[in-house]
Chains A and B, each alone.
Chain A
Amino acid sequence: MSTILIIEQVLNGLQFGVMLFLMAAGLTLIFGVMGLINLAHGSLYMTGAFAAAVTAAATGSFLMGLAAALAAAALAGALVELLVIRRLHDKDHLDQVLATFALILIFSEGTRWLYGSFPLYLDIPAALSGPVTLPGGIQYPLYRLTLIGIGIGVALALWGLIARTRLGIRIRAGENDREMIAALGVDISRLYTLVFALGAALAGLAGALVGAIQSVQVGMGEPVLILAFVVIVIGGIGSIKGAFVGALLVGLTDTLGGIFLPELFKLVMEPARATSLGASLASMAIYVLMAAVLIWRPTGLYGARV
């Protein structure tokens, strides 16, 4: 196992982690500010990917695709908030889970109705395709390197937004005391729509960026959604910083676990059984991580103390 391989895998873990962060940030923002569980967040990710694929195919420009993904996901998010979520604020979480689960089905069938059952084509822009050679002779795909950059950039921008702007102050205030900021004259329902659209846009961005290296198809958001939930549970619900650290932890654990666990088992058993057992355990690794974090800190790494 060479150092080059290990460094490459760490980069892979980082890249996976920052993409998870884009999903988890929106999810945790919506949960933190609005107290709402949104299972349909994966559908917004899918909406972004489809919008990007359709627009990129029509215009031939990946950037136009990205813009369309942000717009479509934000719009879909705002509409969902206005039409459905608004009625669920005072209901308990079970009602929210049911309603947003129904939204998953509506989004999936709607997308199928619009675009059919076959996956769509979205390719990496030519300028970013192919590998680059990093110091030390490591070959790494340029697009994935760009994704790491974009993810960190978005994380910084989001941190700036929350920590340094008026909107951020309102979002933080909304997290702490909904009635009080309403009493202070903040239009809370507009704030909610805005937060929801922002979270949706982040999911849409992730969908479009990841869609270029993976498949753009109906149901693509659900596996990511589960991981995003793991991330916010580890990071602490409502915390952007927690989502970032949690996402990197999950990304690295998942990537490195898949490599090193089978290797580890090969030391003590025959290769075929080691790969099979190692692979099974590796797919559990992030849940083991989640359990370990929760034993140590029941509210997550940066969760509010209860």
Chain B
Amino acid sequence: MMNFTKRALAALALAGTVASPAIAEGVKVGMITTLSGGGAGLGIDVRDGFMLAVEQSGRSDIEVVIEDDQRKPDIAVQLADKMIQSEKVDVLTGIIWSNLAMAVVPSATAQGKFYLSPNAGPSALAGAGCHQNYFNVAWQNDNLHEAAGAYANSAGYANSFILAPNYPAGQDALTGYKRFYTGALAGELYTTLGQTDYAAEIAQIRASGADSVFFFLPGGMGISFLKQYADSGVGLPVVGPAFSFDQGILQAVGDAALGVRNTSQWSKDIDNPTNAAFVASFQEKYGRLPSLYASQGFDTANLLISALDKAAVTDADAFRAALKAADFASTRGDFAFGPNHHPIQDIYVREVVREGDVLTNKIVGIALENHADAYAAECKM
């Protein structure tokens, strides 16, 4: 069956090549992502996952231009202008950070380009600011935090201490957690973005009488927090979104992360053939385990390829419909787009475990099934 479908698709693609020059021209993808500075690990994983899928597709009609935004909005905007005006790309992708996405996506889609987000999912682009050419292949920002809240209920936590950095995604995170969490709050804290010392916050957690801690501190902030938390001896159970427990940073966190429960739409042990093949081939090609971000890059490329199999990018309406169908084998298993082009998917609870000498995650349950986001109703497209 698989073989037949593949052959049929190949034949279809061949037929398309002959019939329509549009497909022969292929597609030019502009990838703007973070390859230097503090958040480079995320961008590198998205890029590597994306390029792996392109390579595996064996297609020669996909050209990818990759540029580094250095995590700076102004540079991202310049790169987007350059890619749209002089490189003439058809599709843009790659942005990691929500503030950069807000700077680039609205103008790119307004110029008729497609934008496929492999990571950032700010609420503004999911609700009233949605656009027919914008697709988010990862999640809406709140999703994993909502799942953490739902998990906290099921784990019987009734008095959480919650903290996040004081910036839009941090505020969204606490809002998302509180949307599903039904218990009381022992404390609610906003930390400084980029903060590295959490001694003061940990002292407050110790004094608060909480029974659990929820935190959203992406990248180096989360490493610092977890190491200091483990050393403080506070010892309350911790829940958080996958971002602070992902493959790229787990080794740096070390044993402090062992046993921590976190929520994610992807995990390397999701049981489906696509995922198994992805994990094996990623590890073979790059010599490390893939992360959440790598899976998102991989899925983004496969979504693009699935749409190219059906329509030429020059036929915007047909191409959009093909994207919307999301007719590709996702590493996450079930995946569909909601009315605002954001994912409807299962969000899992993972636990940090040690496998040999590597720290990694294992799925221990489902937090939310077929979960969509809270903003879809505000989207009119």
Q: Contact check: which of A9, A119, A218, A219 meets B223 at CB < 8 Å? A: A119
**Is A223 located at the chain interface by the 8 A CB criterion?**
yes
Q: Contacts A214-B227, A275-B190 known; A117 to B40 CB distance under 8 Å? A: yes
Tell me the nearest residue of chain B to A139, going by C-beta.
Answer: B233
Q: Contacts A15-B199, A16-B199, A213-B227 known; A119 to B40 CB distance under 8 Å? A: no
Q: Please determine whether A5 and B199 come into contact, CB atoms closer than 8 angstroms.
A: no
Contacts of B228 in A (CB 8 A): 141, 213-214
Q: Contact check: which of B166, B204, B220, B252 meets A259 at CB < 8 Å? A: B204
Q: Please determine whether B252 and A5 come into contact, CB atoms closer than 8 angstroms.
A: no
Q: Contacts A5-B207, A119-B223, A215-B220 known; A109 to B36 CB distance under 8 Å? A: yes
Contacts of B252 in A (CB 8 A): 118-121, 215-217
Interface residues of B, CB < 8 Å — how many? 39
**A306 CB to closest chain B CB, in angstroms?**
33
**Is B370 located at the chain interface by the 8 A CB criterion?**
no
**A143 CB to closest chain B CB, in angstroms?**
6
**CA distance in complex: A224, B195 (Å):** 10
Q: Please determine whether A121 and B254 come into contact, CB atoms closer than 8 angstroms.
A: yes
Within 8 A of B (CB), among A1-45: 1-2, 4-5, 8-9, 12-13, 15-16
**CA distance in complex: A112, B36 (Å):** 8
Interface bracket on A: 35 or more
**CA distance in complex: A75, B210 (Å):** 47
Q: Please determine whether A121 and B251 come into contact, CB atoms closer than 8 angstroms.
A: yes
**Is A165 located at the chain interface by the 8 A CB criterion?**
no
**Is A151 located at the chain interface by the 8 A CB criterion?**
no
Within 8 A of A (CB), among B271-294: none
**Is B183 located at the chain interface by the 8 A CB criterion?**
no
Q: Please determine whether A283 and B192 come into contact, CB atoms closer than 8 angstroms.
A: yes
| A-B interface pairs (CB < 8 A), number | 130
Proximity bits, A266-291, B CB within 8 Å = 1, else 0: 00000110011001101100000000
Q: Please determine whether B38 and A217 come into contact, CB atoms closer than 8 angstroms.
A: yes
Interface of A is mostly: helix
**Is B155 located at the chain interface by the 8 A CB criterion?**
no
**Is B28 located at the chain interface by the 8 A CB criterion?**
no
Query: Which of A91-99, A124-132, A153-161, A185-193 binds B?
Result: A124-132
**CA distance in complex: A8, B201 (Å):** 11
Q: Please determine whether A276 and B220 come into contact, CB atoms closer than 8 angstroms.
A: no
Q: Contact check: which of B38, B196, B207, B248 meets A4 at CB < 8 Å? A: B207
**Is A47 located at the chain interface by the 8 A CB criterion?**
no
Contacts of A2 in B (CB 8 A): 207
Q: Please determine whether B189 and A141 come into contact, CB atoms closer than 8 angstroms.
A: no
Contacts of A12 in B (CB 8 A): 197, 199-200, 203
Contact residues of B with A, CB < 8 Å? 35-38, 40-41, 44, 166, 171, 188-192, 194, 196-197, 199-201, 203-204, 206-207, 219-220, 223-224, 227-228, 231-233, 248-249, 251-252, 254-255
Contact residues of A with B, CB < 8 Å? 1-2, 4-5, 8-9, 12-13, 15-16, 108-109, 112, 117-121, 123-124, 129-131, 139, 141, 143-144, 210, 212-220, 223-224, 255-256, 258-259, 262, 271-272, 275-276, 279-280, 282-283
Extra 13 A-B pairs, beta carbons < 8 Å, given A123-B255, A214-B224, A216-B252: A12-B197, A108-B36, A117-B40, A118-B41, A118-B248, A118-B252, A123-B254, A139-B232, A214-B227, A217-B38, A279-B191, A280-B166, A283-B192
18 contacts between A and B (CB under 8 A): A1-B207, A4-B207, A5-B203, A8-B203, A9-B203, A15-B199, A16-B199, A119-B220, A119-B248, A119-B252, A130-B233, A144-B199, A215-B252, A224-B196, A255-B200, A258-B200, A272-B188, A280-B190
User: Which 6 residue pairs across A and B have the least CB separation, nearest first?
Assistant: A279-B190, A119-B252, A131-B233, A215-B223, A12-B199, A215-B220
